[in-house]
Structure 1
Amino acid sequence: MHKPTTATSSPLYWVIRYLPILQWLPHYKLSWLRADVVSGLTVWAVMVPEAMAYSGIAGVPPLVGLYTVPIPLIMYAIFGTSRTMVIGPDSATALISAGTVGAVVATHSGVTQVAEFVAITSALALIVGIIFLVLGLVRMGWIANFIPSPVMKGFIQGLIWVTIIGQVPKLFGIEGVHGNFFEQLWALIPELVNAKPITTAIGLGSLALLFLFKRLTPKLPSALTTVVLSIMVVSVFDLGANGVDIVGSVKAGLPSLAMPKFTLAQLQLLLPGALAIVLLGYAESLGAAKAASAISGGSVDPNQELISHGPANIGSAFSGGFVVVGSLSKTSVSMGAGGKTQMASLIHAAFIILTLMFLLPLFTNLAHSALAAIVIHAMIGLLKPGYLVQLWKQSRLEFSIGVVAYLGVMAIGVLAGIGLGIVLALLLLIRHASSPPTAVLGQIPGKPAFRNIYRRPGLETFDGLLIFRFDAGLFFANANYFASNLQELIAQENKPVHWVLVDAATINMMDSTAVERLLELLVSLKQQGILIAFAHVRDRLKDKMILAGLVDKIGEEYFFETLSDGVSSFQNNIKEKES
């Protein structure tokens, strides 16, 4: 018998699902084109200098930053679900890339040549892209939920300072040092006396211009303007011949496409950094995509976002670039310029390609100190000194976690810092899961409503009855807490407890460990002469309890639709005993 074809089994359905460009491109309006062209040109003006500057963070030549951009933009336009998000180089992931690749090159190559570093950097982008793609295909879009905001923001704030201190040597034309933030800071202070005057003047002058432009002409592409002015100064006075470190002669043209090569031993060393980039980068990207969609409309599919970052990073790797993720700052620039769709990203990619083909010789006299100034200015703009103060007011525990993540990345390094952040996130998750909120409930007089007696005065309680609410599913991590907390509350009651009525409205699951612990609790309560009853039990949970034999042990008659029904049954039971 022929099986009818459903919408979800149609090949066209799956093609459209995994190629979101087919959802919006056929409906594209020519009236949007002008806004998308303006947006693409505006983001180009921001991306060109930033991509070259962020190359310095990643430890590769400025030209690599431009090689990184076009293919990821095209890939995200094809595979991404956000209408307006811009993908590209990112300071945080670039810094993790530099640390990861630096360890591999030092360990395996025996050299520190630029070509080797660039090759391994591209290999890392390839690995990151494959991980993104695999995670998306197995629908693991939920992984971003496992980095709580205090860990994420604390880590980013610490990373900002690590990035800034790494750019200071380029700003002043002095030798850079290795180590954590504090080690670099301690080593740099005495080195400042060796700063090159002309390099320092260009660096600090560029930094001053960036702040000035931002304050006086915020709509001006300040980074590109600063780059142009610094190139003019270096060219007019021939400062490259006078000790100023410049980009140097670069050949115009598109990058050659090739698959990065790496050994199995290098893969093993790159993998931890790649996983860190995926976790942090995806959290940043998903946040940017959701923020953009909240303004421009449309929906974001977390799993498809993972998939879209796969081809984007693989494309960057094949063009000799480094890792890319969604950028909230560049997305804001695109939307501020009126960008309507991902056509703006395709136009932006076209401008970058034209830059590579025809404009590269113009960057020959670009000073590295000017690029360092662009990075430092961008990082200072991301600083949020009031965040920890706000967190302190909201939660001391989350404040402590934020501070540990903040200082961790500065004190023990980027990779170790993000590892510490992930461990903190897991510990926080375990803490919340193992000891969720509980409450003793009382009835609002004259109403069939019950509230926490410790948060609302004047509630009616019933002698001999303890109404207990457990605000989580019951499973191995919190089953013991459920039992011990209930026993503690029973012991704290002024009068003997005869019944415990559990409000199960917030208990949505129960595993085998919880079942075993409940059976033990039933025996313990029975020995104390206490009966246990349940209200608001969901059907699926009730089925689980029936299969586990809990309903037989407790008694079907002690399962109630509402708390009011349970209270009435308790009162009737007491009256029967008294009579």
Structure 2
Amino acid sequence: MPIKARSASTAERLMPVLSWLPGYRHDWLLPDILAGLAVWAVMVPESMAYAGIVGVPPIMGLYTIVPPLIAYALLGTSRLLVVGPDTATGLISALTVGAIAVQGSADFNALTSTLAILIGAFFLLFGALRMGWVAAFIPTPVMRGFIEGLVCVTIIGQVPHLLGINGTSGNFFTKLWFALRHLPDATLFPVVAGLLSLIAMLSLRRLAPRIPAALVVAIMATILVGLFDGEAAGVSVVGQLPSGLPHLALPNLNLAVLQELAPGALAIVLVGYAEALGGAKAAAMQTGGDIDPNQELVAHGPANILSGLFGGFLVVGSLSKTSIAMAAGARTQLANLVAAVFCFLTLVLLTPLFRGMPHPAFAAIVIAAMLHLSRPGYLRDLLARSRWEFSLAAIVVAGELTLGVLQGIALGVAVSLLMLIYLTSHPQGAVLGQLPGEEAYRDVRRHPEAITFPGLLIWRVGGELFFASIGHYDERLKAAVATHRPPPKHVLLDADSVDFIDTSACDALLNSIKELQSQGITFAFARVRDEVRERMRLGGLEAVVGSSNFYERVTDGVRAWQQQERLDVQSAAPRDQGRLGLSKE
């Protein structure tokens, strides 16, 4: 590749905006501007509302918008993904910082920004190490269970704001019991404001999904509370917000503090990246384009670091906000840059308008967002499809409701890893038979019509052969030999699913084959991959089995055995005649 072309390719990889900006079409400009306005209309009220989940003042929600949008637009590989505040990771942030600082204090706000910077550093580190595969460690049932549990925890946390009563700390059930006990303390006007806001949010999302429901509800609630003097009637409002741009602030780099923040930061990176990558891939499936998981990690790094440096909190890619951009006709990341410009103007010119915005309306926006995330039908379908995966999701939900959000997701990931270890160490081999009239061979348990051959056992290896799986595999193979009727004289191993065999497995398999050979059973292999066969050769397996007993297809191995059987019968016939004193005339 020429040096110029290679340098251009490297530049596009590091700065993906260069891959689409030179080819930008004029007819994309208006859709991108309109989509940017739609994203702005949603992000301003939602970011202020989500600041309540994070436990910081609403103004920090506005500080969180602009720098991340610009950073991701330049560095992200998705042309449509929108990054911003998020409910799932926001609650983890609140819990992480809340363990070392009092919510509402200046220290809490500063540490929340420090956490965002630490999260950005982890994103950059994982991207540099090309660890885009980490999202695979949160399987879909765990993620869905996490979201369903989070919906419950977040909603119960917003109920006091909705009802105008004080909240409490503790797990889901503690907060639920507290809210029920203090229902008589609820003030009428905040309850009415909150419930009307929630009804309006849900109705607009259902009846007019293209309308920015959060912005409409925030404006209408502010107007109504002002008209009816709701603040005097007990409705809590935002109050005076500072105008202008935030000042660049250096983070708290105390090593002890960073160590306390690190576990929560890692959890946020894992959960947030899984959510962001899912959103990016969903957008790419509908509009085209390639997603680089490692570059997505890199892009989220500066987005979070800049947010923290300018007084904001963490951000991740949001599927819900991305869906809004897509529905509004966005074509490229220019839509996010347009949204960033309008959010910048909002900070400079419009913050005085938010002074009378009621907290019950914020609570309604958050609750509506959480209800939109919930998919109880998925859990019902999961129960019908896989009981153990449903149990995995249920464990996560139960863990979140009783132990806490961080503990719930940690429990889910831990159980998933244990399940992964169990499945990889317990390969499910199977006895194969030939489908009538075909050359295909299938598991006889699932295909009773499959034909087996007396004296021949065709055994399919169910997965990788390595130190953790070979013991179970050896037991299953010997059990199949012992129970096969009539007893097999020949075993054909179908190794199509084996991509890897290590030294331990090779040695153990060699010993098993020698043991069965001593009992008069011969062996052959079919569909062995080149890399696996080379390891078998180096380990002495090929020499013991015989290089001529490796076949490209199962059918070839069966035919070779049948031919050998015929030869054995023919060679045995003269010997039998001689023993009986017979001769041909």
Alignment equivalent of 1:100, drawn from 77, 96, 99:
96
Aligned alpha-carbon RMSD (Å):
1.6
Alignment equivalent of 1:256, drawn from 226, 242, 247:
247
Q: Is 1:29 the counterpart of 2:25 in the alignment?
A: yes
Residue in 2 that maps onto 1:77: 73
What's the CA shift string for 1:496-550, capped at 9, x where partnerless? 1111100111111111221122122123212332222101111111111111222
Q: Is 1:211 the counterpart of 2:202 in the alignment?
A: yes
AA partner of residue 128 (structure 1):
I
> Residue 216 and residue 506 in structure 1: after superposition, are their counterparts in 2 closer, same or farther (change >3 A)?
closer
**Within-5 A mapping of 1:112-261:** 112-261=103-252
What is the distance in 1 between the residues matched to 2:283 and 2:326?
Answer: 8
Moved more, 65-74 or 561-570: 561-570
Following TM superposition, by how much is the alpha carbon of 1:560 offset from its aligned partner in structure 2, in angstroms? 1.5
Q: Is 1:301 the counterpart of 2:301 in the alignment?
A: no
What is the distance in 2 between the residues matched to 1:271 and 1:471?
Answer: 39
Following TM superposition, by how much is the alpha carbon of 1:251 offset from its aligned partner in structure 2, in angstroms? 1.9
What is the distance in 2 between the residues matched to 1:548 and 1:534?
Answer: 15
Alignment equivalent of 1:478, drawn from 433, 452, 469:
469
Following TM superposition, by how much is the alpha carbon of 1:246 offset from its aligned partner in structure 2, in angstroms? 1.1
What is the distance in 1 between the residues matched to 2:306 and 2:145?
Answer: 31
Following TM superposition, by how much is the alpha carbon of 1:445 offset from its aligned partner in structure 2, in angstroms? 3.9
Alignment equivalent of 1:61, drawn from 42, 57, 60:
57
- Check the 8 A contact 2:122/2:301 in 1, yes or no: yes
Following TM superposition, by how much is the alpha carbon of 1:242 offset from its aligned partner in structure 2, in angstroms? 4.1
Alignment equivalent of 2:329, drawn from 329, 332, 338:
338
Identity of aligned residues (%): 49
Alignment equivalent of 1:527, drawn from 497, 518, 523:
518
What is the distance in 2 between the residues matched to 1:273 and 1:182?
Answer: 23
Residue in 2 that maps onto 1:399: 390
What is the distance in 2 between the residues matched to 1:112 and 1:147?
Answer: 30
Alignment equivalent of 1:498, drawn from 489, 498, 504:
489
What's the CA shift string for 1:440-466, capped at 9, x where partnerless? 111234443222222223322211110
> Residue 323 and residue 540 in structure 1: after superposition, are their counterparts in 2 closer, same or farther (change >3 A)?
same
Residue in 1 that maps onto 2:554: 563
Following TM superposition, by how much is the alpha carbon of 1:113 offset from its aligned partner in structure 2, in angstroms? 4.4
Moved more, 327-336 or 233-242: 233-242
AA partner of residue 409 (structure 2):
I
* SS of alignment partner, residue 442 of structure 2: strand
Alignment equivalent of 2:340, drawn from 338, 343, 349:
349
AA partner of residue 338 (structure 2):
I
> Residue 445 and residue 112 in structure 1: after superposition, are their counterparts in 2 closer, same or farther (change >3 A)?
closer
Residue in 1 that maps onto 2:320: 329
* SS of alignment partner, residue 110 of structure 2: helix
Following TM superposition, by how much is the alpha carbon of 1:201 offset from its aligned partner in structure 2, in angstroms? 1.7
Following TM superposition, by how much is the alpha carbon of 1:7 offset from its aligned partner in structure 2, in angstroms? 7.3
What is the distance in 1 between the residues matched to 2:563 and 2:112?
Answer: 74
AA partner of residue 495 (structure 1):
P
Residue in 1 that maps onto 2:11: 15
Following TM superposition, by how much is the alpha carbon of 1:36 offset from its aligned partner in structure 2, in angstroms? 0.5
For these two proteins, the number of residue pairs brought into alignment is: 570
- Check the 8 A contact 2:62/2:343 in 1, yes or no: yes
Moved more, 476-485 or 286-295: 476-485
- Check the 8 A contact 1:120/1:262 in 2, yes or no: no
Alignment equivalent of 2:420, drawn from 417, 429, 435:
429
What is the distance in 2 between the residues matched to 1:545 and 1:442?
Answer: 26
- Check the 8 A contact 1:65/1:89 in 2, yes or no: yes
Residue in 2 that maps onto 1:279: 270
- Check the 8 A contact 1:250/1:360 in 2, yes or no: yes
* SS of alignment partner, residue 427 of structure 2: coil
What is the distance in 1 between the residues matched to 2:12 and 2:177?
Answer: 55
Structure 1: runs of 5 or more not aligned:
106-110
* SS of alignment partner, residue 479 of structure 2: helix
Structure 2: runs of 5 or more not aligned:
573-585
What is the distance in 1 between the residues matched to 2:242 and 2:386?
Answer: 55
What's the CA shift string for 1:234-264, capped at 9, x where partnerless? 2223333443211111121111122211311
What is the distance in 1 between the residues matched to 2:231 and 2:285?
Answer: 47
What is the distance in 1 between the residues matched to 2:385 and 2:176?
Answer: 32
AA partner of residue 36 (structure 1):
D
What is the distance in 2 between the residues matched to 1:562 and 1:25?
Answer: 51
Residue in 2 that maps onto 1:539: 530
Residue in 2 that maps onto 1:312: 303
What's the CA shift string for 1:305-341, capped at 9, x where partnerless? 1111111111111111111111111111101001000
* SS of alignment partner, residue 493 of structure 2: strand
- Check the 8 A contact 2:55/2:103 in 1, yes or no: no
Alignment equivalent of 1:87, drawn from 83, 90, 113:
83
What is the distance in 2 between the residues matched to 1:246 and 1:128?
Answer: 31
Following TM superposition, by how much is the alpha carbon of 1:6 offset from its aligned partner in structure 2, in angstroms? 5.8
Residue in 2 that maps onto 1:43: 39
AA partner of residue 242 (structure 2):
K
Moved more, 399-408 or 216-225: 216-225
Following TM superposition, by how much is the alpha carbon of 1:112 offset from its aligned partner in structure 2, in angstroms? 4.6
AA partner of residue 243 (structure 2):
A
Q: Is 1:513 the counterpart of 2:509 in the alignment?
A: no
- Check the 8 A contact 1:475/1:512 in 2, yes or no: yes
* SS of alignment partner, residue 83 of structure 2: strand
AA partner of residue 180 (structure 2):
I
What is the distance in 2 between the residues matched to 1:154 and 1:351?
Answer: 36
Following TM superposition, by how much is the alpha carbon of 1:58 offset from its aligned partner in structure 2, in angstroms? 0.5
Following TM superposition, by how much is the alpha carbon of 1:407 offset from its aligned partner in structure 2, in angstroms? 1.7
Specify the structure having the higher radius of gyration (Cα). Answer: 2
- Check the 8 A contact 2:55/2:104 in 1, yes or no: no
What is the distance in 2 between the residues matched to 1:424 and 1:366?
Answer: 43
* SS of alignment partner, residue 440 of structure 1: strand
Moved more, 88-97 or 386-395: 386-395
Alignment equivalent of 2:460, drawn from 469, 473, 482:
469
Normalising to structure 1: TM-score of the pair?
0.95
Following TM superposition, by how much is the alpha carbon of 1:277 offset from its aligned partner in structure 2, in angstroms? 0.5
Residue in 2 that maps onto 1:108: none
- Check the 8 A contact 2:47/2:85 in 1, yes or no: yes
* SS of alignment partner, residue 253 of structure 2: coil
Following TM superposition, by how much is the alpha carbon of 1:186 offset from its aligned partner in structure 2, in angstroms? 1.2
Q: Is 1:381 the counterpart of 2:377 in the alignment?
A: no
What's the CA shift string for 1:546-577, capped at 9, x where partnerless? 11222122221221222222122222333344
* SS of alignment partner, residue 459 of structure 2: strand
* SS of alignment partner, residue 26 of structure 1: coil
Following TM superposition, by how much is the alpha carbon of 1:92 offset from its aligned partner in structure 2, in angstroms? 0.1
Moved more, 89-98 or 435-444: 435-444
* SS of alignment partner, residue 450 of structure 2: coil
Moved more, 80-89 or 239-248: 239-248
- Check the 8 A contact 1:151/1:424 in 2, yes or no: no
> Residue 308 and residue 534 in structure 1: after superposition, are their counterparts in 2 closer, same or farther (change >3 A)?
same
Residue in 2 that maps onto 1:362: 353
What is the distance in 1 between the residues matched to 2:29 and 2:23?
Answer: 12
What's the CA shift string for 1:408-452, capped at 9, x where partnerless? 111110111110011121022112212233221112344432222
Following TM superposition, by how much is the alpha carbon of 1:230 offset from its aligned partner in structure 2, in angstroms? 1.2
AA partner of residue 474 (structure 1):
L
What is the distance in 2 between the residues matched to 1:169 and 1:274?
Answer: 28
Following TM superposition, by how much is the alpha carbon of 1:267 offset from its aligned partner in structure 2, in angstroms? 1.2
What is the distance in 1 between the residues matched to 2:139 and 2:103?
Answer: 37
